[in-house]
Amino acid sequence: MQATQVQQKRLSIGIIGGGIGGVAFAVALSRDSQLDVQLFESAPQFSEIGAGVSFGPNAVKAIQRLGLEASYQRIADSSPAPFEDVWFEWRRGSDDTYLTASLAPGVGQSSVHRADFLDAIVANLPDGIAHFGKRCVEVQQDAKSATAYFSDGTHFTGDVIIGFDGIKSAVRQHVLPPEQYGEITPLWSGTYAYRGMIPTSELETTLEAHGSKKRLALVPQMYLGKDRHILTFPVKQSQLVNVVAFITDRSTTNPKLPEGEEWVQAVTHKEMLGVFKDWGPACQAILECIPEPMRWALHELPELTRYHRDRVLIVGDAAHALVPHQGAGAGLALEDAYVLASLLTDTSCDRHNVSDVLSAFEQVRYDRTCKAQRTSHEAGDIYEYAGVGSSADETRLIENLETRFEWLWDHDPYDDVVAARHKLALAP
């Protein structure tokens, strides 16, 4: 990070945040020897919270484009034949009745354990790029450089700062100064998510004991009901089943989390069972197997005015955090990583025009990411009979579930790269 070293490179890039998106981005940039790439993570080591993460076809395409497919395929799960194209089967939560299935041909429910996937990406990161215990507290910039300041008293100065630092982003405050844009804070969606991981064999046994088919443990399921829904899908080579059970407070249009309540906390088995006490046997079997659930208060961001300010850019959840109802968050971060890395590794991009490159990135990504935020929230309403297609109109509900993901999945992020290069008048 010495100034003499930086000047030897075409571009110096500081990445704030070492989650899935930030590390994938750093790996892609590290392949260009003319870039000085430094990644700063607040934790003492790479680590991921959460459990399973689902990837749609667009996310798998981004992983391929990033050159990470081999790493991904070693740990990715998929549904057993003949259900390999099933993203989710949809069922009534009250009695487990099958409604329809959403199909993602060639991909299906491609899912991983978050920590395993991060480890797989990190294995591709060269030594010397990652720095730990670096919690960003402020970003500043001038006409020639951008600087990130850390809580340990150190700082990094480079040509650009990229904020991959999540929903509680510190970089976002620089891009959207509160004195100009007001305080932008994560909003509670009104939804709590009870999470657990169940050994697959245990769930199969319990399902059969409740009179349900054990294949419900291996094929991704979504159980729908009024203000509640439950999803399951296998992870860790189908050794475990990831379970998330949602309940939403729709009594007010602007729900507020109780003062001082932690976003994530352990709750009792009794509380979770009480929320779903009138649901069908398969759901009872699933929840019975989670003796110590964690309850997450799901937060999201409003659609932001912008993601870019001169030499500083926010991406991933720092820019467009959303609720998980379309399995879109991690995939969008990987799309961001691929598109941005493609533009910054172009030999025509240097410290003199990099702000224009960041602006072009924002222009080609903004509408898509905002739409993903909006439709993810809508999806939660639909699953919980509060949106298009209510419980009284299952035909309309089924039609919606079968088609609503096509715009999200049928997207190649390379098209964004081409569009951005066109805006910059570069050859594709």
Residues that are catalytic: 195
Q: Which amino acid is at 269?
A: H
CA–CA distance, 53 with 176 (Å, rounded to integer): 29
Both tokens assigned to 185: 């804070």
To the nearest 5 percent, what fractions of the chain are helix, strand and coil? Answer: 35, 25, 40
CA–CA distance, 273 with 234 (Å, rounded to integer): 22
What is the number of other CB atoms lying within 10 angstroms of the CB of residue 117? 26
Residue the block writes with tokens 């197997």: 289
Does residue 186 contact residue 299 with C-beta atoms inside 8 Å?
Answer: yes
The one-character DSSP state at 126 is: P
DSSP β-ladder status, 130-132 and 187-199: unpaired
CA–CA distance, 273 with 275 (Å, rounded to integer): 5
- Phi then psi for residue 183, to 5 deg, are -70, 120
35: β partners: 11
* E strand or H helix at 287: helix 281-288
Q: Which amino acid is at 176?
A: L
DSSP β-ladder status, 11-16 and 240-248: unpaired
Distance of alpha carbon 10 from the chain centroid = 31
* E strand or H helix at 241: strand 240-248
- Among 25, 105, 119, which Cα is nearest to 72's? 119
Q: Which amino acid is at 137?
A: V
CA–CA distance, 282 with 232 (Å, rounded to integer): 11
